[in-house]
Amino acid sequence: MSKKILVIDDEPTILVTLRDRLRMEGYEVITATDGSAAMEAAINERPDIIIMDIMLPDISGYQLCKDIKEIKEINAGIIMMTNKIDAVDAVKAREHGADDFIVTMAGYDAVLESIKNFI
């Protein structure tokens, strides 16, 4: 049974790139481009893993992470991504309950690696 992954990012190119790469690896992928759509998808689809950018148009990624973690039924591993390198972001992500934190400046290979760790 393949794992279900929810990808949340407001940048269409990133969303599509990541989605296609994950599908190539054999994962089932659903996408969302903002916080409310993401929350809906998380509740309805119950993904195993959620990958989200720290910046979203309607809500901060950190807040979304915290909210999702509070809903025990969802029970997904949350990977937060950012295109900057700043330890402060990583710390904040952890404080809000993120399970992993990936810097995407050098590409998305690291994201894929991280997903494997959840399996």
Nearer to another protein, 12 or 107 (CB): 107
Smallest separation (angstroms) from another protein to the CB of 87: 4
What is the C-alpha end-to-end distance of the chain, expressed in Å?
12
Should residue 22 be labelled a site residue for another protein when binding is judged by CB under 8 A?
no
Should residue 115 be labelled a site residue for another protein when binding is judged by CB under 8 A?
no
**Taking the C-alpha atoms of 32, 35, 37 and 38 in order, what is their torsion angle to the nearest 10 degrees?**
60
The 36-75 contact track toward another protein, x by CB under 8 A, reads: ----------------------------------------
If binding means CB under 8 A, how many residues of this protein chain bind another protein?
20
Smallest separation (angstroms) from another protein to the CB of 106: 4
Provide φ and ψ at 60, rounded to 5°: -75, 145
Should residue 95 be labelled a site residue for another protein when binding is judged by CB under 8 A?
yes
If you compute the radius of gyration of the chain from its CA atoms, what whole number of angstroms results? Answer: 13
Token pair in block for residue 28:
């089932």
**Which residues, including other chains, have CB under 8 Å from residue 30's CB and lie 6 or more apart?**
4, 5, 6, 7, 41, 45, 47
| Interface residues toward another protein, by CB under 8 A | 85-95, 100-103, 105-107, 109-110
